[in-house]
A and B are shown apart, each in its own frame.
Chain A
Amino acid sequence: QTFQFQEHVFLQFLGLDKVPSPQKFQPVPSVLKKIFRDQEAAATSGDSQDLCYIKDLGTRGNILRLLLDQGLFLYSEKLPQASSCLQKQLYFNLSAIQDKEQLTMAQLGLDLGPNTYYKQGPELELALSLVQEPHVWGQSIPKPGKMLVLQSVPWPQGVVHFNLLDVAKDWNSNPQKNLGLLLEILVKGTRDWGVNFQLQDTCARLRQSLHASLLVVSLNPEQCHPSSRRRR
Chain B
Amino acid sequence: EAVLAPKTSCGSLCHHHQLFINFQDLGWHKWIIAPKGFMANYCHGDCPFSMTTSLNSSNYAFMQALMHAVDPEIPQAVCIPTKLSPISMLYQDNDDNVILRHYEDMVVDECGC
Proximity string of chain B (65-80) to chain A, C-beta cutoff 8 Å, 1 when within and 0 when not: 0000000000000000
User: In the complex, which of the residues B33, B103, B109 contacts A25, with contact meaning CB atoms closer than 8 Å?
Assistant: B33
Evaluate whether A7 and B26 lie within 8 angstroms (CB atoms) in the complex, with A46-B85, A51-B104, A52-B102 already known: yes
**The 5 nearest A-B residue pairs measured at CB:** A20-B31, A39-B88, A64-B100, A66-B98, A51-B102
Contact between chains at A65 and B87 (CB < 8 Å): no
Residues on A with beta carbons closer than 8 Å to the beta carbon of B30 = 20-22
Distance in Å: Cβ of A36 to nearest Cβ of chain B: 5
Residue A93 at the chain B interface, CB threshold 8 Å: yes
Contact between chains at B91 and A20 (CB < 8 Å): yes
Contact between chains at B103 and A20 (CB < 8 Å): no
Proximity string of chain A (1-35) to chain B, C-beta cutoff 8 Å, 1 when within and 0 when not: 00000010000001110111111011011001101
Distance in Å: Cβ of B56 to nearest Cβ of chain A: 15
Within 57-107 of B, Cβ neighbours of A (below 8 Å) are at 85-104, 107
Contact between chains at B89 and A26 (CB < 8 Å): no
Residues on B with beta carbons closer than 8 Å to the beta carbon of A49 = 86
Other contacts beyond A15-B99, A19-B31, A22-B30: 8, CB < 8 A:
A20-B91, A20-B94, A22-B96, A35-B100, A39-B86, A46-B85, A64-B99, A70-B95
Question: What are 25 residue pairs bridging A and B, where the CB atoms are less than 8 Å apart in the complex?
Answer: A15-B101, A16-B93, A20-B31, A21-B94, A22-B96, A25-B33, A26-B98, A36-B34, A36-B100, A40-B88, A43-B86, A51-B102, A51-B103, A63-B102, A65-B97, A65-B98, A66-B99, A67-B95, A68-B95, A68-B96, A68-B97, A70-B95, A93-B97, A96-B99, A223-B103
In chain A, what residue has the closest Cβ to B87?
Answer: A43
Within 57-80 of A, Cβ neighbours of B (below 8 Å) are at 62-68, 70
Interface centre among A14, A26, A35 (most CB of B within 10 A): A14
Distance in Å: Cβ of A138 to nearest Cβ of chain B: 28
Residues on A with beta carbons closer than 8 Å to the beta carbon of B33 = 25, 28
Contact between chains at B90 and A32 (CB < 8 Å): yes
Contact between chains at B26 and A93 (CB < 8 Å): no
In chain A, what residue has the closest Cβ to B28?
Answer: A19
Distance, CA A51 to CA B98, complexed state (A): 19
Residues on B with beta carbons closer than 8 Å to the beta carbon of A25 = 33, 92
Distance, CA A36 to CA B93, complexed state (A): 17
Residues on A with beta carbons closer than 8 Å to the beta carbon of B103 = 51, 62, 223
